[in-house]
Structure 1
């Protein structure tokens, strides 16, 4: 019997290797059609789920699947979609066919003749689908079971006439000046509809009781105006008409009130807006605020740049005011030509922000508004924000007597070198506008409790949580004396460590819940009851991190009466799952599920216990599942998108251990192997790294063109091993820290016996790119390196600017990721010792560098410094620059190009593949846009040839 089992096992193993051997490797051609699962949702009654299955390029599908029977609706090319409140309908926008649209674009078809989106309304009970052509957008009432509104595109024939200038008799008639289009209000239950012409903006209320809309001026008989349509009575009311411009229609939650901005001026540079208000039952909208209103500061105005917000009760309105524009005599001087005006930037040492930040903030600062509260009963207006108190935090859900405000203006200069800048906190009386200082130079972020009784914050300087009683303004340390840290225990930079966050409050602000690394603590804001570890220390004992999960979006409190759901992640094995716990007292949580997978967020039906979620591993696609409740009963798999992977050699992922050379601490790395892995074979290996990454063990990446780093599925499928080690950093020594983790991690795999140690490479982007550049100055163990956007000279980078944010780069080196912990003049040796540029002569590793000419994070000149040094030393190196691209590639065409070039580079150095033309002979500027140089060349006859030789090759053998 044992012999039979053994023979059967051998046969099955043979069949397995036969099956995997027949699987093909991934190629760059698979990217466009590779599908993902998107926009998963569940209907309110829990009886339906919907999701999109979309390729990276091309037409996707929407599947609407019954969770109670076998009924499924499939609609092609869906973008946005929504379930109705009663779960009887699905509304979806349907895009034109990708291939047809692409063909028309190639023919340079006029925009008027391009196909437009359609709208589908699916009746889930009858299966009937109503289709509406040329729809611009739609609004579906979130609290109504009947009403939907949509806006049409300009009629095709009308737009074509305008664009082509037809001179027919019809075209000679006076044309409407309106830029508006047709608006349709439709009752999904009765099928009745109402149509309104020339609409430019509309707002369908949440309850569906009103449709508000704005029309612009069509002609002298049809002026611009704002209108209300009562869906119950079917009557239309003119709220205001005859003014030049209207903006930002905003309603209360019950739909019974409307506010909007209006002006009678058409001078864009000199417009003063009024704020108008209408309440159901009124004949017309009335001005409630303008430049003459009591409470508006002198020489200020109501600002149409501000947001309009009603409080949840509808008793208050929040908007903004701003100083009137000031015109300087110099800018108004008409005696000067533009060519005579100096173009100059003045950088002052005491500017709050440096000039690049000022430029990026210019429009925001120009349009800055200051918050106002208006009591809609008394119509009293109170100015809350001022130029000296810019940031007001409005809680629109509650009509409290105060709001919280912050001011950081005194500390802005230091943001140049420290992003953890303090701020002053104030309590502002909404009845008077008076501000009272609560905390000066606070480092934490204050948060108000749901009932408004307390303010809580974490102070990173002392690594404790604090509470302030709003009524008495007394402050208490909530976590002092607790024998665990509430600061990030893995924090390894010179900045202050952040917290693990808070979970929320119990009802009536009775208890506040905060997280440590593993467990959840209940603390009494009054200090009368001692802090209690409500997960009973089980998390720390088990190495499991517990976090509270709210399944109902409207929940304001954590229940103390019934068990709540906790997410659970094992920090060493990376198992993922859920537990339940009663947070009213200390007790071990109860396991619901714990698996070697990664669970996606649980989405619960609003009116049912049913939940949907995804779960994945590296091997298994993150399919959608449904369960009858969070207890995972009635578990059922809903999708099979992962079937697209079956023809391909995929791979596996596992955790391995290694010891840091720094202090001997046991660390972890992820090792990815091909699906047909043979332990007796010698594989090439690429090591990729960026901080700590092992928590991504069970993520399931898709084959996709690269924005900057290696696509792991592509390389693994093509018979590479990929290693991703965690790195722990020592203050002041980021380069050595990388060496002390990457090198032993790679050697740990080499010692397993299946890696060709002469065919290993490293690759990283940004911070990872820097570490690649550093490592190749310290070791020759890697046959090739790929460095994306690397800093190589910390002395020059230190004084530079992050052009994407306009910030000085000083903070990067002193406080955060670069971890040097001091200024250039305090610790110059650290800057030099950690800078690869000063040891370029020690590099013997061929390098593939990407650095783009509009990189807003790492200055492009760093890539140039790197390339110039390597070029001067005649080290094999290639710098790839994508024009107009930022730190990571955005344009898909460039991502595809990078993927191909990086793959060819590693294939050459790790697999012995021939060099491509662009590596062997370069790509001269005269050939830019004419050839890509992907084709492989015979290196035995290859020399570094000039442009003429390349052109001759192009003619004789062809190119892509």
Structure 2
């Protein structure tokens, strides 16, 4: 970690972690780990490994080359200016523990506090003059550490004078007025200062008994989960959220100046967002609104962080859903809370305690007109706030607008060029965020290493970057995307005028600007051009490629992509992508493989790197190199009958490709995965355009799946635990009604219903531990095809999830994918597994030879 002034570098050793160790008391899973299994999955508390967390750390002065060894360092953090470094020591001999400050200018270390306790959650104030930290002791047979919060409001005054005793301001739960009895200041949540340095925000939770080390057998104690329809949250959701709920902390404040505890959150208002300056907070009371499928809502309150007083802002406000945002949080200056109600932006003035509708007397329509789900329509979203604090910058389909927070008329920043030219302009944040100034403990987070649980004290750890306002008095960079041309690039907005910088048939990453130079770093890619790094000056036109990460591409046959238009049966304009091999000769009719998933035409210029398949959801580059035409069509969705929408759009695009002369109508295959997999299964049962069908991890019985705990079972606990109601009513399923309201629709839209009509062979793949779509869907579809005498192969990958993770499994699927389609679309000899199957007792022998 570099200091913000780039004068020092901190090098911290990260010790090896046991294979099954969790990263700390926060409960996050280890990287690459699978879903928990067993009867207590998702429920066993994640405790801190025993022993000290400190490791030896080297502090290197980049100006002189001199280095200093700091022993047994746990937390370490520079202040914003970078002239002071605070760190905690967690040593094997606890008498050496404490919190210390290193003066980068003088090279001196000053101890702030020293005690035989554990120090944790170090946090600097925004101004870099105050430090707060927790210190505590483990309590025998109890789950929570007994912590006190200590704060040093004026660290610079303490530097260098070892003779002056340092006395911190202390919050001790046992002595503080108003803090509930039996509650602790929790090390499961980070600390954060208010901008004025007067308050420290922290997490609080109730003390509880440590989990038993031994579990009784069912001969000694019953083990039963009681599922009651009166439960606020379904049992499976409670199980999945159990660890987060165990670690949940309530966000509170410590007034350092007044030496006073201020209660902010509690069981009546668990969710709390604190403004960046710390003066106000906004809380959500979700009691009475929690539901399996109704749009999530809450009563929203203003909270005074000085007194804890609450003021009702708005009742029954829809909050953020799976299909769009309806609240946008507190502005960077802490004065305004923005939300979406009655298809208009609303601004609550936190200082005045009043709300107003924005947009003027003749409002501009900011509704997401492309929203294709049932339920209330969201806005396109908020790009940010102006630096003068007077306006929010909001998005329309194509243009950007300055929306004054005083309720006056908005101003089109892009002058209507977007709507006129059908170019989508979006703000690009090019200035670098403040660099990270904090390193976590080497144990991977240490005690409290994770967030405080959903809605808890999690969103504003001291080291997270702060949202920066947008200064319209300076040139602003906008991304540009052609809705129908698929061109992309960047424009500059300066003095109210748009200027094209680069706009071409390619795709670009968001550019990053150097902090002290007019130099930009970004990637550019096309279907044939790998996204190598490029550096340019202002304007992007003089870009120089500085990496060559994929030279081996020159050794392989590639291809090019072609964009085409088509219409569905209702006349909606849609687009698709054809990938055409390099060796294609005009007039040839090639075999074609179709892949789809909602919309894909926006990826026209995305580089398609060759790779093994993780599922059936890819349009593999190897297919083009092997001589196939490949196609990616867009789908237009209505409310209800979404699989029929897929069928309509995919067939229309396929007929268009045949009409264009590229595809041999007798040699066309289709594949899809997940939502696309259930669509591919449905299309394969209904359409006669496809000679072979590949489907992966898709739902095949919608009627049954609606009432399932979506992607969850006692055997596979990696899903959300929620039932399918929300998904089918409002989310991706888009049905808009239950199976009891429209049973015929659910039956018709299920691939399982139409199995007797199947004519094409199927290749089905599914991971047996899929936490998203239960394996029983793929198995049931296979059994239905088998019963009806159809040709089908199910590739079941034991222990795999929604997509394949094992490299050998990926290779296996890739080989079988091409053997399947090569046989049915190119007439290649069929492998034995396709014609004869693989006896279970010979499975291992067969796999060894592949």
| Fold shared, TM-score > 0.5 on shorter chain | yes
Whole-angstrom CA distance in 1 between matches of 2:382 and 2:75: 40
SS at match of 1:290: coil
Identify the residue that residue 298 of structure 2 maps to in structure 1.
Answer: 423
Where do residues 419-818 of structure 1 align in structure 2 (5 Å cutoff)?
A: 420-443=295-318, 444-459=326-341, 462-479=342-359, 485-527=365-407, 529-553=408-432, 556-582=468-494, 589-629=498-538, 631-632=539-540, 634-661=542-569, 663-708=570-615, 709-802=617-710, 803=712, 804-818=719-733
Q: Deviation of residue 706 (structure 1)?
A: 1.6
Matches of 1:427 and 1:806 in 2, distance apart?
A: 32
Supply the distance in 2 between the matched residues of 1:557 and 1:153 (Cα, whole angstroms).
39
Distance in 1 of aligned mates of 2:377 and 2:108: 60
Q: Give, in angstroms, the shift of residue 845 of structure 1.
A: 1.1
Match of residue 457 from structure 2: none
Quick check: 1:405 aligned with 2:283?
yes
* Cα distance in 1 for residues equivalent to 2:224 and 2:208: 22
| Most deviating of 916-925 and 718-727 | 916-925
Following superposition, the deviation at residue 323 of structure 1 comes to: 1.9
* Greater C-alpha radius of gyration: 1
Matched, 1:344 2:246: no
Say if 1:152 and 1:182, in contact at 8 Å, map to a contact too: no
1:185 match: secondary structure: strand
- Alpha-carbon distance in 1 for matches of 2:141, 2:9: 36
Deviation string 1:851-888 (CA, Å, 9 cap, x unpaired) is 21221211221111111101112211111122222212
C-alpha separation in 2, matches of 1:616 and 1:219: 55
Q: Which stretch of the first structure deviates more once superposed, 777-786 or 633-642?
A: 633-642
- TM-fit CA distance, 1:912: 1.5
Q: Do 2:641 and 2:745's aligned partners in 1 also have CA atoms closer than 8 Å? A: yes
Deviation at 1:704, TM superposition (A): 1.2
* Cα 1:816/1:646, change in 2 over 3 Å: same
Matches within 5 A, 1:792-871: 792-802=700-710, 803=712, 804-871=719-786
Partner residue in 2 for 1:66: none
| Structure 1 CA distance for aligned equivalents of residues 187 and 510 of structure 2 | 38
Structure 1 residue matching 2:818: 3-state secondary structure: helix
Deviation by residue 1:146-201 (Cα, 9 ceiling, x = unmatched)? 343333759xxxxxxxxxxxxxxxxxxxxx98675432222122122222344444
Partner Cα distance (1:451, 1:484) in 2: 25
Deviates further, 176-185 or 637-646? 176-185
Q: Mapping of 1:10-21 within 5 angstroms?
A: none
**In the alignment, is the contact (CA less than 8 A) between 2:127 and 2:195 conserved in 1?**
no
Which residue number corresponds to residue 257 of structure 2? 377
- Per-residue CA shift, 1:235-262, capped at 9, x if unaligned? 4444444535332333335654433322
Q: For the structure 1 residues 711 and 669, does the alpha-carbon distance in structure 2 shift closer, same or farther, using more than 3 Å as the test?
A: closer
Matches of 1:204 and 1:451 in 2, distance apart?
24
1:923 counterpart residue number: 838
CA distance in 2: counterparts of 1:909 and 1:674, whole angstroms = 20
Q: Partner residue of 1:303?
A: 186
SS of residue matched to 1:293: coil
- Summarize deviations over 1:186-221 as a string: whole Å, max 9, x none: 21221222223444444455545444444445358x
Deviations 1:361-401 (A, max 9, x none): 111111211111122222222111111111111234x142x
TM-score, structure 2 as length reference: 0.84
Query: 1:927–1:208: structure 2 CA closer, same or farther, 3 Å change rule?
Result: farther
Deviating more after overlay: 278-287 vs 809-818 = 278-287
Counterparts in 2 of 1:477 and 1:180: CA distance versus 1, 3 Å: closer
- Pairwise CA distance, 1:739: 1.7
Aligned to 2:142: 269
Change (3 A) 1:208 1:493: closer
Q: Please report how far the alpha carbon of residue 480 of structure 1 lies from its aligned counterpart in structure 2 after TM superposition.
A: 7.0
Q: CA deviation at 1:832?
A: 0.8
Tell me what 1:288 maps to: 171
TM-fit CA distance, 1:338: 5.9
Q: In 2, distance between residues paired with 1:559 and 1:227? A: 38
Q: Distance in 2 between matches of 1:869 and 1:333?
A: 45
Deviation at 1:774, TM superposition (A): 0.8
Judged with a 3 Å threshold, the aligned counterparts in structure 2 of structure 1 residues 238 and 558 are, in CA distance, closer, same or farther, namely closer
More moved, 612-621 vs 466-475:
466-475
Query: Helix, strand or coil for the counterpart of 2:685?
Result: coil
User: In structure 1, what is the Cα distance between the partners aligned to 2:553 and 2:635?
Assistant: 32
State how far apart, in whole Å, the 2-side matches of 1:478 and 1:355 are: 42
Once the two structures are TM-superposed, the CA of residue 838 in structure 1 deviates from its matched residue by: 1.4
CA displacement at 1:728 relative to structure 2: 0.4
Tell me what 1:88 maps to. Answer: none
Name the SS of the counterpart of 2:815 in structure 1. Answer: helix
Tell me how far apart the structure 1 counterparts of residues 479 and 76 of structure 2 sit (CA, whole Å): 41
Aligned-pair CA distance for 1:549 = 2.2
Q: Which residue is equivalent to 1:260?
A: 133
Residues 466 and 479 in structure 1, CA contact (< 8 A), matched pair in contact too: no
Q: In 2, Cα distance between the equivalents of 1:179 and 1:658?
A: 61
Q: Which residue of structure 1 lines up, in the alignment, with residue 247 of structure 2? A: 367
Match of 2:452 in 1: none
SS state of the match for residue 371, structure 1? strand
Aligned residue for 2:29?
none
Deviation at 1:693, TM superposition (A): 1.0
Cα distance in structure 2, aligned partners of 1:800 and 1:583: 56
In 2 relative to 1, CA 255–481 (structure 1 residues): closer, same or farther, beyond 3 Å?
closer
Mapped partners of 1:216, 1:549: distance in 2 = 42
Q: Secondary structure at the match of 1:182?
A: strand
| Cα contact 1:148–1:188 (8 A) shared by 2 | no
Shift of the alpha carbon at 1:850? Answer: 1.3
The 1-side partners of 2:131 and 2:724 are apart by: 47
Cα drift, residue 533 of structure 1:
2.3
Cα distance change, pair 327–615 in 1 and its aligned pair in 2 (3 A): closer
Whether 1:316 and 2:195 are equivalent positions in the alignment is no
Equivalent position to 2:62, from 157, 180, 188: 188
1:534 and 1:583 in contact (8 A); partners too: no
Over 3 Å counting, the alpha-carbon distance change for 1:425 and 1:835 in structure 2 is: same
Q: Is the 8 A contact 2:90 2:98 kept in 1?
A: yes
Shift of 1:319: 0.5
Q: Which has the larger displacement, 257-266 or 509-518? A: 257-266
Q: How big is each residue's C-alpha offset from its partner over 1:296-329, in whole Å with a ceiling of 9 and x where there is no partner?
A: 123322112121112344332110111222699x
Higher relative contact order (CA 8 A, sep 6+): 2
Stretches of structure 2 lacking an aligned partner (at least 5 in a row): 17-49, 159-163, 319-325, 434-466, 713-718
Matches within 5 A, 1:78-97: none
**1:559–1:302 CA distance, 2 compared to 1 (3 A):** closer
SS at match of 2:181: coil
C-alpha separation in 1, matches of 2:517 and 2:734: 49
Distance 1:914 1:591, change over 3 A: same
Does the 8 Å CA contact 2:481/2:489 hold for their aligned counterparts? yes
Q: CA RMSD in A?
A: 2.7
Instruction: Give 1:484 shift.
Output: 5.7
**Which whole-Å CA distance do the structure 1 matches of 2:482 and 2:472 have between them?**
26
Change in Cα spacing, 1:481 to 1:678, as seen in structure 2 (3 Å) is farther
Task: State the alpha-carbon separation in 2 of the partners of residues 470 and 189 from structure 1.
Answer: 46
